[in-house]
């Protein structure tokens, strides 16, 4: 985790992992450190199942230099690919073997990386190199599991993951700040998949200043949807950047929402890999801690924050309810 270091100040840096792990240590969560050497050829083989070969070659080429800029948000250093492959391959291998929820504290994040890098016309690939959630799906598939669900609760739309599986019968629930108001400006409610994947994609959107009150109402509908789908395996893109004042978004989520997310995932009782996506300051401490309290069934009562624009509350709930009802018909019947 000490690799892939930005030259200048950048929100995605090794310090994130230290802040997060220190907090978990203090709270008495068991943190297991994994050290491994990546098999680059093997990782490339797996990566080429969801990324274009040309894209992987492009990243390889950039990584010969000490420091490169992939785009305005995304940097690449001489050891970045080693870390990206390690995270990618470890996600795949964990999915092959795990039977209970595992929270894989890893970087760089991956959910903005599509088949060829930038996905769904996003302006950049938002700190992401290889799609780790995608690798996890492949791992679950390779052990013969077919009813797979992905929950992405990073505050930004998981456009890379959405693009990669858009025409597959994988249930994807992506909760994010409304694309009119936040990067990557993708993931509208009307986008519900295509081909085999039609009706399996829920883009749930939240206006700026949404608080726990609204988020929790939508989460209870998400829970019903996922329970009805009854996944054999679950992939979670866990971003904690929707936490109030984490820095990169305008949502006002606090412990109450993250605890509820953890509890929801716990209740599904499926083999689950939770991968770290975003989260840059307070989300990595208070957000992660409350999420894990929910995931591990610790009883804590958190007060719910309120949505600032009260007049928008019912509208936000209604838009997302409509999406979930549409998906319900197709994905559950």
By CB under 5 A, name the binding residues for Zn ion: 154, 156, 239, 241, 278
Nearer Cβ to Zn ion, position 121 or 143? 121
Nearest to 108 by CA among 282, 247, 285, 279: 279
> CB of 145: closest distance to Zn ion in angstroms?
27
The overall longest dimension of the chain from CA atoms, in Å, is 54
Nearer Cβ to Zn ion, position 73 or 154? 154
Chain centre distance of CA 33: 21
Structure tokens given for 276: 């770290």
> CB of 287: closest distance to Zn ion in angstroms?
12
Nearer Cβ to Zn ion, position 98 or 205? 205
If one counts every other C-beta atom within 10 angstroms of the C-beta of residue 168, the result is 18
Angle ∠(116,164,72) on CA atoms, nearest 5: 40
State the catalytic residue, choosing from 4, 51, 111, 112.
112
193-226 burial string, b = 16+ CB within 10 Å, else e?
Answer: beeebebbbbbbbbbbbbbbbbbbbbbebbbebb
Nearer Cβ to Zn ion, position 91 or 177? 177
> CB of 155: closest distance to Zn ion in angstroms?
5
Nearest to 261 by CA among 233, 279, 239: 239
Residue nearest to Zn ion (CB): 278
> CB of 16: closest distance to Zn ion in angstroms?
12
Is the four-CA dihedral 150, 74, 106, 85 of positive or negative sign?
positive
Helix (H, G, I), strand (E, B) or coil at 205: strand
Cα–Cα dist 176/242, whole Å: 8
> CB of 297: closest distance to Zn ion in angstroms?
27
Nearest to 171 by CA among 140, 191, 192, 155: 192
Is 4 among the catalytic positions?
no
Structure tokens given for 273: 């890999």
Cα–Cα dist 293/284, whole Å: 14
Is the four-CA dihedral 214, 287, 235, 63 of positive or negative sign?
positive
> CB of 224: closest distance to Zn ion in angstroms?
26
Q: Which residues are marked as active site?
A: 112
């Amino acid at each position: 985790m000490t690799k892939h270091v930005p030259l200048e100040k950048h929100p995605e840096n090794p310090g994130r992992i230290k802040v997060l792990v220190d907090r978990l240590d203090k709270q008495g969560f068991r943190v297991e450190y994994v050290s491994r050497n990546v098999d680059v050829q093997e990782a490339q083989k797996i990566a080429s199942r969801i990324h274009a070969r040309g894209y992987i070659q492009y990243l390889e080429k950039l990584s010969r230099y000490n420091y490169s800029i992939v785009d305005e948000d995304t940097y690449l250093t001489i050891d970045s690919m080693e870390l990206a492959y390690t995270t990618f391959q470890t996600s795949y291998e964990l999915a092959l073997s795990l039977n209970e929820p595992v929270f894989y504290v890893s970087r760089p994040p991956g959910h903005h990386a599509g088949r060829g890098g930038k996905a769904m016309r996003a302006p950049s690939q938002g700190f992401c190199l290889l799609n780790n959630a995608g690798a996890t799906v492949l791992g679950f598939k390779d052990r013969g599991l077919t009813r797979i669900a992905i929950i992405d609760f990073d505050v930004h739309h998981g456009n890379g993951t959405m693009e990669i599986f858009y025409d597959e019968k994988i249930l994807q629930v992506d909760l994010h700040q409304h694309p009119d108001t936040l990067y990557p400006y993708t993931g509208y409610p009307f986008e519900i998949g295509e081909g085999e994947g039609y009706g399996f994609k829920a883009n749930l959107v939240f206006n700026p200043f949404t608080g726990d009150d609204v988020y929790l109402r939508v989460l209870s509908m998400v829970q019903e949807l996922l329970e009805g789908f009854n996944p054999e395996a679950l992939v979670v893109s866990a971003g904690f950047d929707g936490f109030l004042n984490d820095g990169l978004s305008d949502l006002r989520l606090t412990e109450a929402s993250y605890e509820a997310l953890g509890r929801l995932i716990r209740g599904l009782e499926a083999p689950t890999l939770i991968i770290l996506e975003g989260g840059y300051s307070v989300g990595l401490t208070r957000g992660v801690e409350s999420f894990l309290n929910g995931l591990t069934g610790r009883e804590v009562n958190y007060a719910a924050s309120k949505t600032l624009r009260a007049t928008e509350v019912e509208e936000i709930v209604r838009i997302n309810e409509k999406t979930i009802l549409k998906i319900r018909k197709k994905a559950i019947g």
